[in-house]
A and B are shown apart, each in its own frame.
Chain A
């Protein structure tokens, strides 16, 4: 079955008096029943790509193909409020489609209550707060029951509870309706929570696209690794035994047999284990806690190890005898299959 929305040989150009920007996308599919997260640094062209996918921006080359008649709709980073009530904002696109009044009522009421703004229905949309306006924009888009939903930074302006609720709504709607979703977000954690696939924009092109786990754990280069949160990147010498030597007395076992000699070793923070005697992974020795930040649920530790600054995350109540503090020595462990290797000439950008 063809994807409801595909980009083929796309070249997008933006020119102003002071700058020129070009983005090339050879192949990208937004698949039915899946959420694609589009990641990239600021100015990588994420929003431009989304607009092109929505048919709102003409590419200099290439085509955006629609696999069916289903509507494609986009929720912008800074949504607008149309003149009139919140209710009018949700109903207008439905009315313009000539739906019968019963269907309009049902869809509008459903969308309003779904996003928790049913009690604001009669209010002027121009008076909404940022978060309320975001929820209105989402309700407006969901009410259309689109075949493809493109979301540009949908979690902005939402409080933690609303972010959580939107993530759940997205997953549920995708499962129930089979809608194809593409999300642009700078919030990696949120993207990981909602997406099935990840596309990474880097250096004016689509550097990597694939299933979530693959992109997160097997980034194709250092640039992608940094963007997808693989922050522990260490230069190493990988021996024939598969052990990556970082510094005298410091080594990391790898399960990857493809690279030997000078290389980079990558490890996601959540894969660097603070060993509390459970026997998780292979010990790589001891490090010193040099940084400690906690939001009460998640603790991020900076650890000095082999002259490098490593990061790891701990979830509260994980079983530590006490809260770690700066200066503590900690035993570290990794699972060889979690360790990623990249060639020494892997591009950083």
Chain B
């Protein structure tokens, strides 16, 4: 095995971004409505659901990876789909890791609104679609925090993507699994190059959050 070349580094980075981006979009598409629903409704069992979401936030990714891997394993319940060691399996694991983070942060954002927020907007005769848009606008900082937390969680995750993707060259290799592999092989220069890219991405994320928050307070 050779040191990492520039082309491979670019390919791994782009694949990482594509996978994480897809997982993030799916997690947001599922998590934001769930969070709004959980944050704004009062029904029997709500606390239990919130407890489940909070537990999900602390679930070890490697356990999530194990469950998803077993689901897609040849003899598993979804084995016929032949998705073991595929990007789809990796995305599934990443969505399950990100989803509780998105839901919990959206619930917190919605719960922080005035108790009469929805009623007051309704009383202005604003139609439902507009009301949803206004709500998203209102909780935009919470949404941003959810995006950053979810993306941070899945970008830096290694166990679950290794279990479900298998680190196949040109197919499922992403930044974290590649760093792990090059470290094991003692090719530290390559591992550091990958680590620098990963750190750069995380710093961009953190910078974005700070910039938006600062902009809000001005």
Mark A residues whose CB is within 8 Å of B: 51, 54, 56, 71-74, 76, 78-80, 82-84, 92-93, 96-97, 140-141, 144, 146, 150
Range class of the B interface residue count: 10 to 19
In the complex, are the beta carbons of A93 and B124 less than 8 A apart?
Answer: yes
Say which residue of B124, B134, B140 sits within 8 Å of A140 (CB atoms). Answer: B124
Which of A76, A82, A83, A97 sits near B123, CB closer than 8 Å?
A: A76
Q: Which residues of A contact B134 (CB under 8 A)?
A: 82-83, 92
Are B116 and A144 interface neighbours, CB within 8 A? no
CB <8 Å contact, B137 and A84: yes
**Known contacts being A84-B137, A92-B134, is A79 close to B120, with CB within 8 Å?**
yes
The one of A71, A82, A96 that contacts B127, using a Cβ cutoff of 8 Å: A96
Binary CB contact string for chain B from 179 to 210 against chain A (1 if under 8 A, 0 otherwise)? 00000000000000000000000000000000
Chain A interface mostly: loop
CB of B119 within 8 Å of the partner chain: yes
Chain B neighbourhood of A56, CB < 8 A: 119, 122-123
Question: Nearest residue in A to B137 (C-beta to C-beta)?
Answer: A83
CB pair B125 A73 closer than 8 Å: yes
Interface string of B117-158 (1 = CB under 8 A from A): 101111111110010001001101000000000000000000
In the assembly, what is the distance between CA of A72 and CA of B125, in Å? Answer: 8
A78 contacts B138, C-beta separation under 8 Å: no
Total cross-chain contacts (CB, 8 A): 52
A51 vs B119: C-alpha distance when bound (angstroms): 9
Task: Tell whether A144 pairs with B117 under 8 Å between CB atoms, given A83-B137, A83-B140.
Answer: no
Which 3 pairs of residues, A with B, have the shortest CB-CB distance? A93-B124, A74-B123, A96-B130
* A92-B134, A96-B130 as given contacts; A80 in contact with B123, CB under 8 Å: no
Closest to B117 in A: A80
Q: Which residues of B contact A54 (CB under 8 A)?
A: 123
In the assembled complex, the CB of A179 is this many whole angstroms from the nearest CB of chain B, namely 14
Residues of chain A within 8 A (CB-CB) of B114 are 78, 80
Given the interface pairs A82-B134, A82-B138, A83-B137, the reply to whether A76 lies near B124 with Cβ below 8 Å is no
